Structure 1
């Protein structure tokens, strides 16, 4: 019986590597076609990968905790049958893989990450002259940064040594957490962001929710679902904020429809699951999908599709019992709306000081896509809807 070697397949969604979390089989085990054999974590999610071969496990090619590049060996199976499937769970097709397959002929630098390519291009680093230190000889960011440091001439005198502090522990920056770190770093590096905010009287919206719950106790609607509906309506009126910048083409790309990201805290850090086609959903439908995504995030069960395709992000940092923040735009999106906690505060209504429920709303936006007037107009639209929810729901 010949051993068949199964390599890490094209993961789709621009993913180029995965970390081996745990093997589900060991050498000598008998496996069936399409049986999950390993759990891996990509920059998007963790998934179980099935083998296309049935037979006896002959070799595991990567240790748990190792990072494996697309095309690198995963497992060898002394097999008698095969399914032809390469990756069940990501939804990639044979034709799609064929289109993405690179020519085998001719030498090329082993570079996986587009961030690494851009870093090299920005600093005139010749990738073909580098030797990759990542598994499989892949050129990693540290290799490019080392080349940049080596070629730079010192602008100042030598820096005095600093007494090192003892290290308590090192936490690997992998998977979803690394992806988010790279995205936020890129956002801070590329996007000239600005923030505007306003204190909002949410008393009427709180009362609207209470009345809806009294009429239908078994079918509640969350505060965030109302805000999401008003955000979607606002983006239809201010499309600059539902866009992204294409620097290569020199364009601002306005997007057709809204995929609304909802910032959430998961077991592995900050996640932004996406309510797809939010512009087609009413308040109750938005509430149901937000609740599903939040539950999946807490349980670590979000799929790749749940975490991709966002066009605008809504961040409810009030759940952390804070009033305001200036969050980083979720690259490549153009804006993010933040909602602070709701507090009882003295408020002037019709000339009298009365207790009202107040929350701070903030909008952080990419100043390349619009000016402050557009951003303020969008924020004011959302705030007006929140302060007069009955009228808003009747007209949007």
Structure 2
């Protein structure tokens, strides 16, 4: 048996997990017929393919804008306070390599409720393809790796705990995807009141007009913080995101 210190490159993950301990998670899930999303993506001719994560970010931002009670954060135990945010900012998890070690990092995309699909994809592509050791979006994460452990912990708490700073560091909702692998669904806590987990798209049997056929189906999971909202509102949010993806993924009513 070998015992070693935890790699500095994973320090930000440990600090994050420690910070979200008060979270009271409840999990929901649904299946989304992705036929409309795939058709819309195939029809794009600008040479910049849209990712499934981009469609989910786009739909979720619009739904969260209509649910201000969920576009919020809570802090405190004895005297809890809730902050409801005017902006809708999405946090995404990214699989990166830092210091030769594979780690997960996150980045926040602000004001997604005002952004179209092309703009969201541009931001996602920049974050996905960029070098985290050279990008300003990850400078604070790299600083945590370099600092002594107690100093890093203190600075992290100073940065994330004030509610007024919450959208900048945590976003107001989060999206995490493992759909590039053989993962049907999973639940994740992104540090936000609402976190979406995105699975793979697989052809599955569906019933339409009484006949059995097949359709590309994606499992969409939602984890919500029960301290902030209740299950009925979380169910509304998940249902509305599903309906947007299935009916008009471009955000335009038909």
With the shorter chain as reference, the TM-score category is 0.7 to 0.9
Taking the TM superposition and a 5 Å limit, the aligned residue runs for 1:70-85 are none
In 1: Cα distance, 2:110 partner to 2:244 partner:
22
Deviation at 1:395, TM superposition (A): 3.7
Deviation at 1:365, TM superposition (A): 0.8
**SS of residue matched to 2:31:** strand
In 2: Cα distance, 1:337 partner to 1:180 partner:
18
Does the alignment pair 1:303 with 2:136? yes
> Where does the alignment leave 5 or more consecutive residues of structure 1 unmatched?
1-165
In 2: Cα distance, 1:315 partner to 1:171 partner:
28
In 1: Cα distance, 2:177 partner to 2:135 partner:
19
Counterpart pick for 1:278 among 112, 136, 143 = 112
Q: Is the 8 A contact 1:209 1:223 kept in 2?
A: no
Q: Is the 8 A contact 1:184 1:330 kept in 2?
A: no
Q: Which has the larger radius of gyration?
A: 1
Does the alignment pair 1:262 with 2:95? no
Deviation at 1:253, TM superposition (A): 0.8
Deviation at 1:183, TM superposition (A): 1.2
Does the alignment pair 1:290 with 2:149? no
Counterpart pick for 2:32 among 180, 200, 207 = 200
The alignment's TM-score, normalised by the length of structure 1, stands at 0.52
Deviations 1:277-335 (A, max 9, x none): 222211100000001011125x54332478753221111121232011121x223x212
**SS of residue matched to 1:190:** coil
Counterpart pick for 1:345 among 198, 204, 225 = 204
Taking the TM superposition and a 5 Å limit, the aligned residue runs for 1:222-237 are 222-237=51-66
Deviation at 1:223, TM superposition (A): 2.4
Instruction: Tell me: higher relative CO, structure 1 or 2? Use CA pairs within 8 A at least 6 residues apart.
Output: 2
In 1: Cα distance, 2:194 partner to 2:251 partner:
23
Aligned residue for 1:335? 194
Deviation at 1:378, TM superposition (A): 0.2
Which of the pair is proportionally richer in helix?
A: 2
In 2: Cα distance, 1:351 partner to 1:302 partner:
52
> Where does the alignment leave 5 or more consecutive residues of structure 2 unmatched?
142-167
Q: Is the 8 A contact 1:260 1:274 kept in 2?
A: yes
Taking the TM superposition and a 5 Å limit, the aligned residue runs for 1:147-162 are none
Aligned residue for 1:326? 187
When residues 304 and 218 of structure 1 are mapped into structure 2, their CA distance, relative to the original with a 3 A threshold, is closer
Counterpart pick for 1:313 among 174, 184, 191 = 174
Q: CA RMSD in A?
A: 2.1
Number of matched pairs? 221
**SS of residue matched to 2:251:** helix
The alignment's TM-score, normalised by the length of structure 2, stands at 0.80
**SS of residue matched to 1:200:** strand
